[in-house]
Structure 1
Amino acid sequence: MSSGAVLWRMATFLSPSSWAVRQGNSFLCPSNPSSLKRIPRCPPSIGTFRRSLVVAASSSFANQNREFVIVGGGNAAGYAARTFVEHGMADGRLCIVSKEAVAPYERPALTKAYLFPPDKKPARLPGFHTCVGSGGERQTPEWYKEHGIEVLYQDPVVDFDVQKQTLTTSSGKLLKYGSLIISTGCAAVRFPEKIGGDLPGVHYVRDVADADSLVSSLERAKKVAIIGGGYIGMEVAAAAAGWNLDTTLIFPEEHIMPRLFTPSLARRYEELYQKNGIWFAKGILIDKLEAGPDGRVATVVLKNGSTIEADTVIVGIGAKPVVSPFEVVGLNTDVGGIQVDSLFRTSVPGVFAVGDVAAFPLKIYDRMARVEHVDHARKSAQHCVRTLLTAHTQPYDYLPYFYSRVFEYEGSARKVWWQFYGDNVGDTIEVGNFDPKIANFWLDPDSRLKGMFLESGSPEEFALLPQLAKSQPVIDKAKLRSASSVEDALEIARSSLQIGGTV
């Protein structure tokens, strides 16, 4: 991996001989299965791909032909649909094929407000259908009907014929497409059945059905174990604290969120979690999950021989891109997923891939990346559809962005919201005491700012972060280290923009 790459550590919870898994929700998410075929960095054509297809001019979809088909019903599909509507190209032309029973929604809610107990105003559909997460209209199932968009619910694609331009769904429907957008996202990495990965009471959170099942368990839970110290683990643990449950967070690294947090920053958050009644089991590998007399999970057995009692276990150890049955369009063996160019075109004319599943050129850092985040899902879908429907050929220029919001339920002593922009490479300078603010600045050997993390900032302060991360100004490290407060440090960074530090 190049020095410019973000180093996301492998989180191995079990012995190498039995099962190895990767920390979830990663910025760069290598896959490396031996079966993947490497293809050229970008498809050779520079024109906009459109395939001809005669489509009945009716929203009834009486025949098998669809001008535009989106496979996947997640965030990206919802934002893509909105963009089709904005261009007047949805009514009677667009079909969304989804494995879920509900219309696209803002998936981050599932590990946050959705898991709050009933007395703390949990999120529920239709409250967070896309595109409310970015201030847009709430796209309920009725919205799709009103705009003439066909949505096939609970009917995933099981076969793909690239030569005939056809898709076959699980119910046997045959769809012939003109242009295809693959937005199949990711699936949770699961523990094998033989070590208890499928026991009743063991949960993985990727969709609303998963979240419903977990809420049902939390309603009768007494002891909860959460495996994984990344996004899923931290957010679910914070939500579980709202239920006043005996909660233990288990992970193999030395501290939480190792792919982003420095040891010092992690210590601040761990102290906050402990104040909220959450226990930590750090640097520990999982051996197996065992059932009790009723057949439900009852014990987490660790490699060191010790055990942790738990009647509910949430596994958040990573995700893998869902590429089947689309492998034929070309996969990336370095970061995983489907290889696309800067306009989200695959190697096959008329076929695009967006969101979590797309391996794309990250222009700002000149490397290939696959980003598992709602912000990229939204923006990549919109960029792709504009490319497809117009003469738009501007390369996708994405700035990596991550955030988390936890402890936001009623009665919480402190609500937490952090944001990160850029690349966490180089030397780190930390400013602030976490009461309530703290900031981290990553600077390269030339003192250029590469990335910024801010906790509990104001809207104006958060708005400054992407400006700094894009411009990568030169900052006086000694000045930054001597900053008396987060506000002072941000002003030092802001002034570096004004004095020409970006030249």
Structure 2
Amino acid sequence: MTRTVIVGGSHAAIAAAAALRRHAPEMEIAIVSDEATLPYQRPPLSKEYMSGTMALERLWLRPREWYEERRIRLHLGAAATAIDRAGKRLALGNGDVLGYDALLLATGARARRLPAAMGGELPNVRVMRTLADAQWLMREMTAGRRLVVIGGGYVGLEAAAEAAKKGLDVTVVEAAERILKRVACAETADALRTLHAAHGVRILENTRPQRFVERQGHACAVRLDDGRELPLDLAVVGIGIEPDVALAEAAGLEVADGIVVDAHCRTSDPAIFAAGDCALFPFQGAPTRLESVQNAQDQAAAAAANIAGTPTAYTPHPWFWSDQYDVKLQIAGYHRGYDSVVTRAGKREGSVSFFYFRQGRLIAVDSLNDGATYAMARKLLEAQATVTRAELDDPAFDLRERAKALSHPRPAAE
């Protein structure tokens, strides 16, 4: 492969470009992004950036000089509009056409929005996905204003936390019977619900929004399915994301809940690869799409190796995180299909970890302000080491010694 074009402007795109340059010093590499800014980190938008602890320049994944030094061409503010698979050409919205030997789709995902009939397109009803979204919210989040967050997932709760810290009156509306229903156990949800309540945030669960009430072109309230109306000055919709598959679908690539790829990140067209939030790949015996920085970086690196001619199967070790108030939630592993949870207090006051099991096997852990346990559990999970429920239920069990034994195995008996 001598020419690779990467579509996308976030973690996966930049990780792929960096890996490609290492593998192939002479390869032509181009990045196409529909946003006019330099590629930036998305996770800090609802965390450090919105809180003011991260400056704008720290959001950039790489400074402009990095691309210039590595001869990586940037096509910013230019949306990819069509793939000519037969001619191996990518058309851009500005009229440019880029030829490729390999094409990597790192198109990511888009925030789900409420339909226009519900008022989802009113100007003070926003999602939390882009830099523009974060900057708008930073301007609008002023003490005393009323914020309603639709959706009790991580993005919604992070936005609620930042708003509460700024002195807003915050209500979270969650349609499911509890917050974090899709992404965490009830124990983690309980801990975070209690945390938000302590900061004055109201959480309404098992409650559906019916529509936003409009006044003078803006939302002034949200009407709930039980007839109540919650007055508001602004709203954040955090009801998940959907993979951006439009370009792939229009090109006739196989698409399901994401762009379907094999273990080597290759799509149904052998010259086209996909990585990051948009890619649906085989993992633990099931088609899987991981929404995380870890997946974006590691899958993109695997895709780059395959493009450069080094066969590399992608086998992830997932990790995630969320910052809310003074609590850092760190997640290792993947909790899909869990059937039981063990709670274990950490060494620091107020720290706790929740261990997920499936059929007696440890598969994931959620650690709240418990970084030491997270690090040990992550090491054990990556090594597929055996830890039982009974051991974790025993306060005398030394998790550190079990993790240390992976680095210093006992010599075989003579």
> Greater CA deviation, 229-238 or 250-259?
250-259
Partner of 1:213: 136
Retained in 2: the 8 A contact 1:449–1:468? no
Give the direction of change, closer, same or farther, for the CA distance of 1:83–1:473 in structure 2 (3 Å limit): closer
Partner of 2:343: 430
> Shift in Å at residue 420 of structure 1?
2.9
> Greater CA deviation, 82-91 or 99-108?
82-91
2:208 is matched by which residue type in structure 1?
Answer: L
Partner of 1:246: 169
Partner of 2:228: 306
Partner of 2:272: 351
Q: Within 2, Cα distance between the matches of 1:125 and 1:176?
A: 33
Retained in 2: the 8 A contact 1:227–1:250? yes
Pair 1:108-2:43 in alignment: yes
Q: Within 2, Cα distance between the matches of 1:179 and 1:107?
A: 26
Partner of 1:58: none
> Shift in Å at residue 223 of structure 1?
0.2
Partner of 1:142: 65
> Shift in Å at residue 73 of structure 1?
1.0
Q: Whose RCO is larger (CA < 8 A, sep 6+)?
A: 1
1:315 is matched by which residue type in structure 2?
Answer: V
1:69 is matched by which residue type in structure 2?
Answer: V
Give the TM-score of the pair, scaled to structure 1: 0.76
Give the direction of change, closer, same or farther, for the CA distance of 1:194–1:436 in structure 2 (3 Å limit): same
**Residues 390-449 of structure 1: CA distance to partner in whole angstroms, max 9, x if unpaired?**
4x2231111222221222xxxxxx34332232335122111228942111122233x322
2:5 is matched by which residue type in structure 1?
Answer: V
Partner of 2:298: 379
Counterpart of 1:380 in 2: which secondary structure? helix
Give the direction of change, closer, same or farther, for the CA distance of 1:432–1:461 in structure 2 (3 Å limit): closer
Counterpart of 2:176 in 1: which secondary structure? coil
Within the candidate set 164, 179, 197, 2:102 is matched to 179
> Shift in Å at residue 221 of structure 1?
6.7
Pair 1:388-2:307 in alignment: yes
Partner of 1:14: none
Retained in 1: the 8 A contact 2:146–2:170? yes
Aligned-residue RMSD, C-alpha: 2.3
Which one has a larger percent strand, Structure 1 or Structure 2? 2
**Residues 268-288 of structure 1: CA distance to partner in whole angstroms, max 9, x if unpaired?**
211111111211111101100
2:86 is matched by which residue type in structure 1?
Answer: Q
Give the direction of change, closer, same or farther, for the CA distance of 1:495–1:148 in structure 2 (3 Å limit): closer
Give the direction of change, closer, same or farther, for the CA distance of 1:377–1:431 in structure 2 (3 Å limit): same
Q: Within 1, Cα distance between the matches of 2:237 and 2:67?
A: 34
Q: Within 2, Cα distance between the matches of 1:422 and 1:237?
A: 25
Pair 1:322-2:244 in alignment: yes
Q: Within 2, Cα distance between the matches of 1:422 and 1:261?
A: 10
Structure 2 gap segments, 5+ residues each: none
Give the direction of change, closer, same or farther, for the CA distance of 1:266–1:155 in structure 2 (3 Å limit): same
The percent identity for this pair of structures is 28
Counterpart of 2:323 in 1: which secondary structure? strand
Pair 1:401-2:313 in alignment: no
Give the direction of change, closer, same or farther, for the CA distance of 1:324–1:464 in structure 2 (3 Å limit): same
Structure 1 gap segments, 5+ residues each: 1-49, 54-66, 131-138, 408-413
**Residues 294-330 of structure 1: CA distance to partner in whole angstroms, max 9, x if unpaired?**
x221101101100111111000101111112222353
Within the candidate set 288, 304, 307, 1:369 is matched to 288
Give the direction of change, closer, same or farther, for the CA distance of 1:448–1:325 in structure 2 (3 Å limit): closer
Counterpart of 1:360 in 2: which secondary structure? strand
> Shift in Å at residue 241 of structure 1?
1.6
Q: Within 2, Cα distance between the matches of 1:496 and 1:85?
A: 37
**Residues 171-227 of structure 1: CA distance to partner in whole angstroms, max 9, x if unpaired?**
111111121101101011111112100101111121111211222222487000111
State how many pairs are aligned: 406
Q: Within 2, Cα distance between the matches of 1:125 and 1:430?
A: 38
Pair 1:78-2:1 in alignment: no
